[in-house]
Every structure is written in structure tokens, then in C-alpha cells.
């Protein structure tokens, strides 16, 4: 029984981390979109920020479902801050870093950051989805994150080719 409870707490904490990741992803795209003069990058960032917000709501619903079943454990403020810090250090660059790269004129580097961030999100969510039945909501998020990767790569390749 103790092992099962630990698994539930871990699942809940991971879902709460996913909510944090999506919020930071949204912030990333808003900062990048606000710092670029390229209309393609601006439009893509606007779209991706909205989709990251949609993903955040999916994870919030999953968290609510756990809570409704009595399986949710709220993270203390310091735990949530620590999770957010880990995500920032390992997945999402800071808004200041994004602005420096984008304002410095190297939008390719900013797009590379975005590709890395999306790839890390796919890896994280794929690991999370392994413990869920097929057809779960996280699989849809993974598919959308992979689409983000393709869109970002296409814009980056177009810019590298001077298009």
C-alpha cells in the first residue's frame, strides 16, 4: 500500500510540474514573440504560446481528476518553486536570456532554444504517458509538442536558407 501511495504522489507531482512547464513555455514564446521583428517568428510564437496555455489546462484537468479521486497532493509553495527552478534550469531559458538572444539579432539561436525546449517536453511527457492507458490526454499533448518541433524547425531552416 505504501508503494502505491508513493506512486500516486509522484504522478501528482509530475502533473504539477507539467503545469509549470507549460506556463514557462507560454512565457518563453510570449517573450520571444515580443523580442523579434520577424513576422514569421512573431506569428509562430503567438500560436505556440496559445497552445502551451491549452496544454496547461489539460494538465490542470488531470490534476483536478486526481484530486476528485482523493489522489492529489498539493505541492507546498517551496516545492512548487523548486520544481519551477528545476524546469527553468533544465528546460526553459529565462526571459532575459531569450530577450538577449532575440534582441542581439540571433533569432536562429532563439529558435534553437525553442527546439531544445520542445524536445525536452516531448521526452518528459513521453515518460509520463508510459504509466497511463493508451489514448490518454497526454498523448495528444505529445503530438502537438512534436508539431511545435516541426514548425520551429521549418521556420529555422527557412531563415538559415535566407527565405
> What are the structural domains of the chain?
2-160 (1.20.1260.10)
Cβ–Cβ < 8 Å for 138, 41? no
- pLDDT score at 7: 39
Q: For residue range 9-21, what is the model confidence (pLDDT) as tens digits?
A: 356 677 878 888 8
Cβ–Cβ < 8 Å for 52, 24? no
Kindly give the interhelix angle for 39-68 and 2-35, rounded to the nearest 10 degrees: 160
- pLDDT score at 160: 87
Q: For residue range 53-86, what is the model confidence (pLDDT) as tens digits?
A: 999 999 888 888 877 887 665 656 676 666 666 6
Non-local CB neighbours of 115 within 8 Å, separated by 6+ positions = 149, 152, 153, 156
Amino acid at each position: 500500500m505504501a508503494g502505491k501511495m508513493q506512486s500516486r504522489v509522484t504522478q501528482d507531482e509530475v502533473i504539477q510540474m507539467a503545469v509549470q512547464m507549460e506556463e514557462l513555455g507560454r512565457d518563453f514564446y510570449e517573450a520571444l514573440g515580443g523580442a523579434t521583428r520577424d513576422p514569421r517568428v512573431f506569428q509562430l510564437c503567438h500560436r505556440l504560446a496559445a497552445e502551451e496555455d491549452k496544454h496547461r489546462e489539460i494538465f490542470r484537468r488531470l490534476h483536478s481528476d486526481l484530486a476528485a479521486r482523493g489522489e492529489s497532493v498539493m505541492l507546498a509553495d517551496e516545492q512548487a518553486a523548486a520544481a519551477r527552478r528545476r524546469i527553468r534550469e533544465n528546460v526553459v531559458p529565462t526571459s532575459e536570456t531569450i530577450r538577449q538572444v532575440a534582441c542581439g539579432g540571433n533569432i536562429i539561436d532563439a529558435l534553437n532554444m525553442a527546439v531544445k525546449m520542445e524536445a525536452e517536453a516531448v521526452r518528459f511527457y513521453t515518460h509520463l504517458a508510459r504509466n497511463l492507458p493508451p489514448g490518454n490526454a497526454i498523448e495528444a499533448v505529445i503530438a502537438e509538442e512534436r508539431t511545435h518541433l516541426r514548425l520551429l524547425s521549418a521556420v529555422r531552416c527557412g531563415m538559415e536558407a535566407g527565405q
